Amino acid sequence: MPQPVSTMRIVGYGMTALGKLGRSASELMREALQKSLRSAGLQMKDLDGLVAVPSLSHPHFMEAHYLATQVGLLPHRGPGSVRVRTIDTGGAGPVSGLLEAARMVKDERCQAVAVVAGDAVSSLATPEFLARADQGCRDPENSLPSPCIPHGYDQVAQWQLRQGLLSREQLAMVSVLMSRQAAKHPLALTRKAHSLEDVLRSRKIAPATNLLECARRADGGAAIIVASSNFMDEYMGHDLVSSEDGVSSARLGPVAATGGLVVLGGGEASGPLYPPEEIDESMFSCEAAAASAFSEAQLLPEDLQWFGLYDCYPICFLRALEACGVTPKGTAGAWVEEMFWKTESGYDAGDFPINTHGGLLAFGAPWEVPAMYNIIEACEQLRGTATGRQVPSVRRALVYGNGGIFSHSAVAILAQPV
């Protein structure tokens, strides 16, 4: 009998608590990895691939090799081989890692690949955090003032304000919207929605950026497991396609038991490491990454029912709305304002099907981890398990990760299994 066409799937995912946890990044990565394996019904020995993104708080030479050594994947013993890779595309890392894991499964015939991220930037004292964060983003030729990251994004926000494409209030409304979403997620750090005044009156960090418009620093870890549907069928003794018929296997975890989530396509593109002195459209890369993802998935924005958009600063989210086709070019500010009023006094999740966890601004932002939260929330929405914030009938979802100051973009499109 011919083999069914194999698809790349997320078959497990897991995350630690968020907050100021006083634990090392490696401990958080290990806990998240164990949880993701459990939700797949796999064991550490089933993995033959591991992708990790580096941590700022506890950096290690060859992060993925370090983690693989700690969990016993290296040195490798027994038949076959294990492939271990560290991917550093900044905050885009988890989505780059997802796409790399899908390639490893498809082209390198890996059976199951974990993608892991963890960091403890909330437990780092602020001067130490800023020394490390500034160092990565400061152009020796054209120093941004410290804190460099908020100032870098602020320069882009100011550029768009000067063009008359959005207003200062519309930038602040992004943070309000994210806090409204976070208030519905049990694990989010922000428990109560901000008012527009809260955001506009919070401490000024850069000319057009206040404290409540900065990614909310946190400690936390998150991981996913990518495998082919054929592997899950053959090795786990379970036909994923017929799982809806009630066929189940004790070995499969809850995510794998319902077929996991299909990786339909993805795309990546890069911008400059340092924001240029003269900002223009050429520094942005989300448009190209999204176009590649839509092309590979053979879909259009209107085919998607949920979006996980990177929102380290409001300007990143506003640009992503246009780059990913949620709203036409030049209209993101007005669109956000419309959403702000629409969700002002209670709303259904389907009214605003974006970042239903609250994003970096309100869910929590452990440095390079947060795009993994976009992926995990997409999985929850696709599985229909986003209790209290479920968008109706989500069949396909887009996730976007952004690294540095618009320095790298990675976009993936996920779907329910058919």
- Interface residues with ligand CAA (CB under 6 A) are 90-91, 126, 130, 147, 149-150, 190, 205, 211-212, 214-217, 312, 361-362, 365, 367-368, 403-404
> At a CB cut-off of 8 Å and minimum separation 6, what does 59 contact?
none
Nearest Cα to 377, choosing from 404, 402, 359? 359
Give whichever of 293 and 361 is closer to ligand CAA, judged by the CB atom: 361
d(CA 99, CA 399): 11
Residue 119 β-bridge partners = 220
Give whichever of 238 and 408 is closer to ligand CAA, judged by the CB atom: 408
The least distance separating ligand CAA from the CB of residue 233, rounded to whole angstroms, comes to 37
Q: Which residue is nearest to ligand CAA (CB)?
A: 90
Say how many C-beta atoms besides its own lie within 10 A of residue 296's C-beta. Answer: 17
Say how many C-beta atoms besides its own lie within 10 A of residue 389's C-beta. Answer: 21
The least distance separating ligand CAA from the CB of residue 223, rounded to whole angstroms, comes to 18
Residue 248 to residues 13, 99, 241: CA-CA distances in angstroms?
19, 28, 11
Task: Identify whether the C-beta of residue 92 lies closer than 8 Å to the C-beta of residue 409.
Answer: yes
Give whichever of 112 and 205 is closer to ligand CAA, judged by the CB atom: 205
The least distance separating ligand CAA from the CB of residue 225, rounded to whole angstroms, comes to 23
Give whichever of 42 and 172 is closer to ligand CAA, judged by the CB atom: 172
Say how many C-beta atoms besides its own lie within 10 A of residue 202's C-beta. Answer: 17
Give whichever of 153 and 294 is closer to ligand CAA, judged by the CB atom: 153
- Tell me the backbone φ, ψ of residue 15, rounded to 5 degrees: -145, 160
Task: Identify whether the C-beta of residue 104 lies closer than 8 Å to the C-beta of residue 126.
Answer: no
The least distance separating ligand CAA from the CB of residue 368, rounded to whole angstroms, comes to 5
Residue 72, Ramachandran bin (φ over 0: left; ψ between -120 and 50: alpha; else beta): left
Nearest Cα to 312, choosing from 255, 273, 248, 365? 365
DSSP 140: T
Give whichever of 98 and 240 is closer to ligand CAA, judged by the CB atom: 98
The least distance separating ligand CAA from the CB of residue 131, rounded to whole angstroms, comes to 11
The least distance separating ligand CAA from the CB of residue 295, rounded to whole angstroms, comes to 25
Paired tokens of 173:
């409304």
Give whichever of 284 and 367 is closer to ligand CAA, judged by the CB atom: 367
The least distance separating ligand CAA from the CB of residue 364, rounded to whole angstroms, comes to 9
What count of Cα atoms within 13 Å lies in the side-chain half-sphere of residue 122? 20
The least distance separating ligand CAA from the CB of residue 69, rounded to whole angstroms, comes to 25
Give whichever of 41 and 404 is closer to ligand CAA, judged by the CB atom: 404
